[in-house]
Amino acid sequence: MAWDVVIAGGGFGGYYAARTLERVLPQHSARITLVNDVNFLLFTPLLPGAAAGTLEPRHVVVPLREQLDRTDLWLGHVSGAAPERNELIVDSLDGRRHELRYDQLIVALGSVSRTLPIPGLVEHAIGFKTLSEAIALRNRAISLLEIAETIGDAETRAEYLTYVFVGAGYAGLEGLAELQDFVSDVIDLYPRCRVQGMRFVLVEAKERVMPEVAPDLAAFAERELRGRGIEIRTNTTIEEVGERAVTLRGGEAIPTRTVVWTAGVKPHPVVAQLGLPLTDGGRIDVDETMRVRGRANVWAIGDAAAVPDPTRKGQPSPPTAQHAIRQGRRVARNVAAELGAGGAVRPFAYKTLGVFVDLGRHQAVASTMGIKWRGFPAWFLARTYHMANMPGTKRKLRLLVDWTVSLLFSRDTSELGQLGHPPELEHPRAEAADRAASPTT
Ligand SMILES: Cc1cc2nc3c(=O)[nH]c(=O)nc-3n(C[C@H](O)[C@H](O)[C@H](O)COP(=O)(O)OP(=O)(O)OC[C@H]3O[C@@H](n4cnc5c(N)ncnc54)[C@H](O)[C@@H]3O)c2cc1C
């Protein structure tokens, strides 16, 4: 009888778990099923490139069906679980409910943007975590330039030309840097806006930007961004977000139509519906082998799980793709060991190899195995690293082509927000009424 191994979530952790299981489990010994709500893996380190128009949106994702050979991809939304019956509850895209039975379950459902109870935040701010948010941001930047160009009053126009990013971790910093790079590339096409200029503000509650990297590298990144005219407000929080302004603590109001919220992540809310133990931070409580406490056949990895960090006693692993990938590979081997396919169940062991923060304009900061890099060499290293990690030769080549094209040509300013939203066909009755109303010739 073949075992049923089910993986919930096909991001970095889930995808690498499936790939490793395909390799380590003997043919026909197990059915591997991967449940995901989209049929691709989003390669998040390249999201700022998609927002800035240097990369085609389709080139920052990895189609799961192309990359997985022996895994059944099940497209649907995980909505709950019954661990006592070994069942995962999945709603398929057409709304049918399924109970997927498993012998071993790996939960890798990732995270969502962590919001705070700030008035107006949910209504007016945009996140920067999904492909739709990244593309919406790019489209919005172009629409706002188009609108601003039609406004005569400079004060009102300024609202449309100001961007406020909240949260100076690497996602916020890269997103802001790439977007500014994009806008400064295209602004020459908008004469009124060019004369007035753009304003970019980065707000951070902590005392410095990018707590993930060494202070001297963070200081380099800060100098680089300030040199481009980006205002950086550390030790600052926001009090309210409105349609036309954001108010900082202390009462200063910055007129803006765009607030981008990049102030951290929290586990996907559905993990609280799986009947599994959670830590105070809401991540799934697992031991060092990534087995869920009290559940012999359930494992959890990535941003959704509090996997003990082998290098920082008592702390969970940071929510990074580097960790999720290694946890995916290790958990697959642990599951294989549990099913008697060889090896032993081992704890997760990994030390961060490096951090790369792309600042656009051929600038970056990086720290790899104790060596610090900045400027062009860091930028080159960051791109090489991301390309090396992109699964599949075809996809690596696509990145290379996009990057080369963006070095040689200016960026495209078409605003294609209408893609995927076709107009409805006109109802025949309305057409007949129109004909009746207009005289025939
Ligand atoms: C802009 C940005 C830049 C980043 N850059 C870096 C970087 O340079 N280096 C780095 O190491 N990390 C980076 N990260 C962090 C990294 O993306 C995450 O840590 C990593 O994706 C976590 O992997 P995961 O498998 O836990 O979750 P994910 O990769 O998020 O995968 C979760 C999967 O589960 C699916 N899912 C969620 N809910 C459901 C549901 N109910 N039903 C079915 N499927 C569901 C999701 O669609 C997704 O496919 C970045 C993140 C962002 C937002």
Residue 396's Cβ-count burial label (10 Å; 0-12, 13-18, 19+) is: middle
DSSP annotation of 122 reads H
Q: Each residue of 89-138: pLDDT tens digit?
A: 999 999 999 999 999 999 999 999 999 999 999 999 999 999 999 999 99
Q: What is the pLDDT of residue 439?
A: 60
* Mean pLDDT value across residues 76-100: 97
pLDDT of residue 1: 64
Q: What is the pLDDT of residues 127-185, one digit of tens each?
A: 999 999 999 999 999 999 999 999 999 999 999 999 999 999 988 999 999 999 999 99
- Best residue among 16, 35, 36, 323 to mutate for probing ligand 1, ranked by most atoms within 8 Å of CB: 36
Residues in contact with ligand 1 by the CB-under-6-Å rule are 9-14, 35-38, 44-45, 47, 77-78, 108-110, 128-129, 171, 268, 270, 302-304, 319-322, 324
Using the predicted structure, report yes or no on whether residue 212 has a pLDDT greater than 80. Answer: no
Angle at 395 between CA 48 and CA 360, to 5 degrees: 25
Q: State how far the Cα of 70 lies from the Cα of 48, in Å rounded to an integer.
A: 32
pLDDT of the residue at 159:
97
Lookup: tokens for 96: 């049918």
Query: Region 200-223: what's the mean pLDDT?
Result: 89
Q: Whose CA is nearest to atom 31 of ligand 1?
A: 11
Measuring CA to CA, which residue among 140, 108, 101 is closest to residue 256?
140
Ligand 1 atom showing the smallest separation from residue 301 Cα = 26
What is the Cα–Cα distance from 427 to 33, expressed in whole angstroms? 43
pLDDT digits (tens, 9 = 90+) for 300-351: 999 999 999 998 889 999 999 999 999 999 999 999 999 999 899 999 999 8
Which of 65, 97, 112, 320 best tests ligand 1's pocket when mutated (most atoms within 8 Å of CB)?
320
d(CA 16, ligand 1 centre) in Å: 12
Helix axes 12-24, 321-338, angle to 10 degrees: 30
Q: What is the DSSP letter of 291?
A: B
- Token pair for 330: 């290790």
pLDDT of residue 291: 98
Q: How far is the CA of 366 from the centre of ligand 1 (A)?
A: 21
Q: What pLDDT shows up at residue 11?
A: 98
The string of pLDDT tens digits covering residues 374-429 is 899 999 999 999 999 999 999 999 999 999 998 888 888 888 888 888 888 988 87
Residue with CA nearest ligand 1 atom 51: 44
- For residue 305, give the ligand 1 atom closest to its CA: 26
Question: Would you say residue 440 has pLDDT above 60?
Answer: no
- Give pLDDT tens digits for 182-210: 999 999 999 999 999 999 999 999 999 98
Strands (E) across 58-123 are located at 61-63, 71-82, 87-92, 97-101, 104-107, 111-113
Top-confidence residue, 224 or 100: 100
Between 115 and 361, the higher pLDDT residue: 115
